[in-house]
Structure 1
Amino acid sequence: MPASSAYSVRPPSKEQVRRWRQYLADERAEAAVYRHLAARRQGEEREILLGLAEAEARHEQHWRDLLGEQVGRPVRGALRVRLLARLARMFGGVFVLALAQSAEQRSAYDGDGDATSAMAADERVHGEVVRALAARGRSHMSGTFRAAVFGANDGLVSNLALVLGVGAAGVSSGTVLLTGVAGLLAGALSMGAGEYVSVRSQRELLDSSRPDPRSHESLPDLDVDANELALVYRARGMDPAAASAHATEVLARVRDGHHVPDRAEPDYEEIGTGWRAATSSFMFFAVGALVPILPYLLGATGLSAVLLATGLVGIALLGTGAVVGVLSGAPPLRRALRQLAIGYGAAGVTYLLGLGFGTTVA
């Protein structure tokens, strides 16, 4: 039975027609998002995104069938979907994929009897497809992104805490500014050096745990009847039976003259490189640490400078928290408020300590 025949006896209400037209507009806009994203990709990712666009076209046809002659003039899609389409057309990166993932997870079809169960299931599957595509992009940027987020957040919080703590002790605005600049330089250099050492150490630790790529050269010389190759595979996590079978298979391949390939060189893209992490951390810490001292650089003094610095840092913390929330697929508002609470909490404690120190000295 065609979808529209369900309403052949009793025509749809005005509210249903309005809702169906909105669904139709949203499906059009979502299909456009995937087409714009596909235009910026090649190969398998392009095919996957075009497949999602075709699926949205099927959903669009469902609402066309229900509306029939009442389809009317095209209406505009929801603001979030139109904004997503514009971002996809302009940028098309992992940020847009993360937003698309969140959009698919908020589908209204689960609670709407006019949508089929297959459509609701489609939307859930679409969310997983987009999640997987976004995960590819996140793995490419995760090492540098982690360093950037930590650097910016540390710069904002540590320098705000430093400025508030020193200012509360009753020193002059010039001294507060000098302290803030010193904190910016010292912190940025420390963060950059720390990230480099951390990433390099992690990569070296992982390298030391990898199998020796030259170990396969010894295989032709092993005694077929008495060797410890199975112990190697057991040490790597195989159970005794599987390790013994795999060792026998490998030796059989060697005896038959087959080459045992070297293990692929890992790139540890999720960790990143030492220099990229160090540069990212240095730059973003410096930018974050600059925000609390901007009022002092512009000539503000006293309480007005403190309030302005606190407000600017609060806005920046909300921004970094929201970006992390979007890219991780979590609610951006919750992450933004969490970032703000942590930053203000740390700065508040330092301010109270500085206030108490200033009172004691006085």
Structure 2
Amino acid sequence: MSAPAVPPSRDRRRWAQYLVNERAEARVYRDLAARREGEEREILLALADAEGRHEAHWLELLGGEPDRLPRADSGTRMLAWMARRFGSIFVLALAQNAEARSPYDTEPSATPAMVADERIHHEVVRGLAARGRRRLSGTFRAAVFGANDGLVSNLALVMGIGATGAAPQFVLFSGIAGLLAGALSMGAGEFVSVRSQRELLDATEPSDYADALLPDLDLDANELALVYRTRGMPADEALKRARRVVETAQAADRSVPYSRTETGPISTRSHEVVGSDLGAAVSSFLFFASGAIIPVLPWIFGLSGVTAVVIALVLVGIALMSTGAMVGLLSGGPPLRRALRQLAIGFGAAAITYLLGLLFGVSLG
């Protein structure tokens, strides 16, 4: 009987890399689970167990633990570092991107179950990340929009005024005035916007206005069914639901709230998505101000002319790319593409106002 064939060394190196990556990913999920509780903790631990099954597959192919193992790839190591220190939505968003790039789709040594696992893991992590995004959505939206508006609008303002040849003190004054005016406007606008949205949601949600009179409804001519039909329920199902509610109310001789029997407490979920009006306003004000101060920094420190303009562009460019990359991470999109898009939009607006300032300065001259 011949001895089993020894796998080529390139296959063993690849399997060893998969092994250490699976171990590192399992640690990421366990570190995240340590910062969660309840259902999210159980889901993350189940993901870690699945990575452990994948690890066992590669160990079996390798014939046991190799004497030397490579390091996990850089992306997985970064995930592990962030999971130990932050355990935040950013880690889940990065993990979502990592699960979407599974190498097992083209790996002949991976089992069909492993390929399917990786696809499912992407959806599971996306679902967990979506929960965090919903919790962040209102205030985070105001913060990101505020910071970017501050960066772009104040950069455009100081670039336009600086191009006219105005004195550095006037450029500085204009930048500070633009910061205060924009931050106050953004904060007030965000407060009104979110408050109005919450009030609109309140007006469209079910109420207990008629609950006390449910026992008096006619079982055969049951108008409660119309309530359920307005919520999208088919006519037959709506009538059955209405009859059950009225029968229960009549038997108990008291009202049985119908407003929550279909979908549960809508108000809590919808308000969670919209966010706090005051929180959105404060975040918008502070982040607009923090963004708007960056283009003015060179003039605050006494610089002027081309030097001030170049430094302002560099600082704003870094900030724009950072916020763009952050939004890309949280949305599950490519961070670099989002960062470059933010940079192009910001610098495009500044270029237009700079050219207008040059034309205005020439005409004044």
Calculate the TM-score normalised by the size of structure 1. Answer: 0.94
- Report the Cα distance in structure 2 between the residues aligned to 1:345 and 1:301, rounded to whole angstroms: 22
Alignment partner of 2:362 out of 315, 335, 359: 359
Give the match for residue 260 of structure 1: 256
Deviation at 1:269, TM superposition (A): 0.7
1:67 alignment partner in structure 2? 62
Corresponding residue for residue 303 of structure 1: 306
Contact 2:215 2:255 (C-alpha < 8 Å) held by counterparts: no
**CA–CA distance in 2 between the matches of 1:42 and 1:135?**
17
Partner of 1:5: none
The equivalent of 1:3 in structure 2 is: none
Q: Within 5 A, what are the aligned runs for 1:148-163?
A: 148-163=143-158
Are the equivalent residues in 2 in contact too, given 1:323–1:332 (CA < 8 A)?
yes
Shift of 1:259: 5.1
1:270 partner SS = helix
- For residues 122 and 77 of structure 1, the distance between their equivalents in structure 2, rounded to whole angstroms, comes to 20
Which of 211, 217, 221 is 2:212 aligned to? Answer: 217
Greater mean alpha carbon deviation, residues 22-31 or residues 210-219: 210-219
Which has the higher mean CA deviation after the structures are superposed, 349-358 or 228-237?
228-237
Q: Secondary structure at the match of 1:256?
A: helix
Q: Deviations over 1:173-206 (max 9, x none)?
A: 1111110001111111111111000000000011
Partner of 1:280: 283
Unaligned runs of 5+ in 1: 1-7
1:340 corresponding residue in structure 2: 343
Q: Shift in Å at residue 265 of structure 1?
A: 6.2
Q: Say which SS state the counterpart of residue 269 (structure 1) adopts.
A: helix
Are 1:249 and 2:252 matched, yes or no? no
Q: Secondary structure at the match of 1:266?
A: helix
CA deviations 1:189-238 (Å, max 9, x no partner) are 11111100000000001111112223212212223343422222222222
> In structure 2, which of residues 195, 199, 204 is the aligned counterpart of residue 200 of structure 1?
195
The aligned counterpart of 1:183 is 178
Whether the 8 Å contact between 2:212 and 2:255 is mirrored in structure 1 is: no
C-alpha separation in 1, matches of 2:199 and 2:207: 14
**Residue 151 and residue 357 in structure 1: after superposition, are their counterparts in 2 closer, same or farther (change >3 A)?**
same
Letter in 1 for 2:116: A
Distance 1:259 1:113, change over 3 A: farther
Question: Equivalents in 2 of 1:63, 1:259: separation in Å?
Answer: 62
Is the Cα–Cα contact under 8 Å of residues 17 and 70 in structure 1 kept in the other structure? no
CA displacement at 1:70 relative to structure 2:
7.0
Indicate whether 1:291 and 2:321 are aligned: no
Aligned residue number for residue 322 of structure 2? 319
CA distance in 1 between partners of 2:169 and 2:242 (Å): 72
Give the whole-Å Cα distance in 2 for the aligned partners of 1:71 and 1:151.
53
Amino acid at match of 1:19: R
SS of structure 1 residue aligned to 2:247:
helix
8 Å CA contact 2:211–2:255 kept in 1: the answer is no
Q: Is the 8 A contact 2:214 2:255 kept in 1?
A: no
Q: CA deviation at 1:80?
A: 1.0
CA distance in 2, matches of 1:353, 1:282: 28
Structure 1 126/227 Cα, relative in aligned 2: closer, same or farther at 3 Å?
closer
Which blocks of at least 5 consecutive residues in structure 2 are unaligned? none
> 1:141-168 CA distances to partner (integer Å, 9 max, x unpaired)?
1111000000000000000000101111
Q: Percent identity?
A: 61
- Number of aligned pairs? 356
In structure 2, which of residues 137, 146, 149 is the aligned counterpart of residue 142 of structure 1?
137
Which residue of 35, 40, 43 maps to 1:45? Answer: 40
